[in-house]
Structure 1
């Protein structure tokens, strides 16, 4: 078992009500492009400025939800479908290295460290696989929609009651449970939150706050509020942090749902900047900029050092976009009709567009080895080689 170098909204009664209401809100957001006045623009790519070659396709299960994140370690890509199929794929060829069929629906996955894979079932069970074979499972007290973090011989979880848990990856017993601070808010989003690590600190999104957690004990080192709920009802007050995030040089940048994009010093929790932003997906970035998509399909770039806006583009407006991926000179996003767009990271201009299938691209594209990987809602996986 390898060791990660970074590590040596819910109403409780009834439990599901908060999740259902938040899901309805997300559904409303996703139909921004459905009315005639919000019709997306026609896009033509006359002379592509970036060469992109599709190299392989694969299939994992029959459905893939946005929170079922892919994970890549070197050239090995691990994918868990919503209907319970978990597959490790050689991203160079698209060939399966191993497959496991759990024959049960999954709500979160896959967390990966070497050959160890963790997923969470719809029955609220944490399931750990080693090289495709089930090793143990543990019953949980609340649903989970954020992929587990597997690191340092442990499995970390963020559940919908906003509890953070650590399990021993070898034996499966619980090491600690922590809730950084109490909240009276009753709704939680049915999508992936923030659960990651930097410099031996576990970083967790708890409602509108980012918390730094000591991974050995679960003690809270600091909390930094990215956004404070200000709405007049529970839906308007939703400010959960959503994944993915951008981590560079000890700074984590993240989005608070429909509220702000912000960057925080991951060592001490000091807020560096915040900018208002009306989006439902996380961000990506590099040392110079942070990139995100708004709920209406606008794509925006912010200066990483001070948060000032560098550019925005409306050419994908009213298209239901995936979270962005920064790769080389491109900001890459997919849409609900299966198109994959490559935008210039310098000014947002369109470099190229390629087509997958019609089921749509919901999750953030992923880089595995030298291959760009995209998964569609139908469970189909595409491997591309951009220049």
Structure 2
């Protein structure tokens, strides 16, 4: 078993020991430690043409912090674990600004309404101006933050690794409310990413529960057990909701869970519409009537979003530690532990394109805009590619 990979995926909380964390890594791949599938030749019908690349600091560090880049408008924003943040032209790659925050960055980035939000290993949340990288404010939450802060018009909602959810005023960074949940003694490394809309926030928790919070007060409107712990050991009882819930325009909520299921809910009351027996720690992608899920053993599955029926399944990349999927011009986009970027036809499920970004590996979800893909490797290399035809 590759303990280096396992340490990236799991962390200790409470009384959990390192040996237990490593055992949990074995459990996430099944009873045996399966070797990643070798890449096979395929009929390439799409190409990935490099447009530009930049080195962003020194990468994600030994802890492999999930510092996924973000894009808004014509700019892409990326960072490294040591505090370097850069803005680049999305089309040209020209550096618009570069700053050093002199602190460890631990979370993915969020770019919205002229601001860039990120968080640090010591529980600071920072707001930057997209125009020049100047700092608007810093606020502190209860502990380390790995999930990207999420915003609506007034609030920035931050979920920290101790299970606490904090709402900050987007303009000032002042605390508005705090929601606290119970944490199991052992969790996956990372937390769920809140799904925030104007009236409510949907919060996935490490205890397998989904909470819907009123954004005016932080009080729960309803809660549901998405994944139920089972088994005798703490490892077998891991049920983290570590992806981000996805909401459809007609008010359906799609939630993934580790050692659990994929569930479609009616977002207002939490009524279950359907469920599928798939374990996933990743955020799914909803495109029309298709819901795309990367499972914990790195199979890629397309579900009918209306019924949960499986449409296709691709296991060509099994156990290659795939990222969460993104969508670009009719193709799914996933990265793997060896630094390959794969394109999968969204309707048929076949691999149609591939390129290698960097041998350090890809562990964060690519960012897409139309047929353009921005992908950052673990060593910090940010590459922009165009899908053709």
Query: TM bucket by the smaller chain?
Result: 0.7 to 0.9
Rounded to whole Å, the distance in 2 between the matches of 1:16 and 1:60 is 34
- Structure 2-normalised TM-score? 0.86
3-state SS of paired residue (2:234): coil
Residues 172 and 246 of structure 1: CA distance in aligned 2, closer, same or farther (over 3 Å): closer
Rounded to whole Å, the distance in 2 between the matches of 1:21 and 1:110 is 32
Rounded to whole Å, the distance in 2 between the matches of 1:383 and 1:104 is 27
Partner of 2:233: 233
Number of matched pairs? 371
Q: 1:334 Cα shift?
A: 1.1
Q: Which runs of structure 2 are paired with 1:141-220 in the superposition (5 Å)? A: 141-179=142-180, 182-183=181-182, 185-198=184-197, 200-207=199-206, 208-220=208-220
Q: 1:18 Cα shift?
A: 5.4
Partner of 2:77: 78
Unaligned runs of 5+ in 2: 1-9
> RMSD between aligned alpha carbons?
2.7
The answer to which of 355-364 and 59-68 deviates more is 59-68
Rounded to whole Å, the distance in 2 between the matches of 1:21 and 1:284 is 34
38, 49, 53: which is aligned to 2:35? 38
Tell me if the contact between 1:38 and 1:318 (Cα under 8 Å) persists in the aligned partners: yes
Partner of 1:87: 86
Q: 1:70 Cα shift?
A: 2.3
Is 1:327 the counterpart of 2:328? The answer is yes
Is 1:267 the counterpart of 2:268? The answer is yes
Residues 298 and 273 of structure 1: CA distance in aligned 2, closer, same or farther (over 3 Å): same
Partner of 2:6: none
User: C-alpha deviations, 1:180-225, integer Å up to 9, x for none?
Assistant: xx53622333224131224532111123122221212212122222
Rounded to whole Å, the distance in 1 between the matches of 2:186 and 2:79 is 26
Q: 1:356 Cα shift?
A: 0.8
Partner of 2:310: 309
User: C-alpha deviations, 1:85-118, integer Å up to 9, x for none?
Assistant: 1222221112222222112212213233223222
Tell me if the contact between 1:322 and 1:363 (Cα under 8 Å) persists in the aligned partners: yes
Partner of 1:114: 113
Of structures 1 and 2, the one with the larger relative CO (CA 8 A, separation 6+) is 1
Residues 374 and 66 of structure 1: CA distance in aligned 2, closer, same or farther (over 3 Å): farther
Residues 295 and 345 of structure 1: CA distance in aligned 2, closer, same or farther (over 3 Å): same
Q: 1:305 Cα shift?
A: 0.8
Residues 19 and 87 of structure 1: CA distance in aligned 2, closer, same or farther (over 3 Å): farther
Residues 192 and 60 of structure 1: CA distance in aligned 2, closer, same or farther (over 3 Å): farther
Residues 41 and 239 of structure 1: CA distance in aligned 2, closer, same or farther (over 3 Å): same
